[in-house]
Amino acid sequence: MGVEIIKRSENLKVEKDRICYDHPQISFNSDNHLVVRLMQNESDDILLVFDSKLSSMIIDFCQAKINNNYICKHSIDRDCRLPF
């Protein structure tokens, strides 16, 4: 498994970096921020800690997607996909 980080700039330069991992973990830290832990081996890991605003945006997006899927499963009109 892997995460790709893509850095783009106005001059069309693109830098890509890939982080490989085995066992991802998702949690909240003591500040109630969303944390993604990517374990690379027994002793090395990478933590992605999102601030409160971005944590809320990610959670809201996931809840909207879950709610949309629930509504679609129980709707007569099944074409209720998100527009992207």
Is the pLDDT at 29 greater than 90, yes or no?
yes
CB 23 within 8 Å of CB 6: no
Q: Measure the CA angle with vertex 58, ends 53 and 59; round to 5°.
A: 95
Is the pLDDT at 73 greater than 70, yes or no?
no
* pTM as predicted: 0.68
Structure tokens at 41: 């081996």
Is the pLDDT at 15 greater than 60, yes or no?
yes
In angstroms, the CA 28 to CA 50 distance is: 10
Q: Does 69 or 65 have the greater pLDDT score?
A: 65
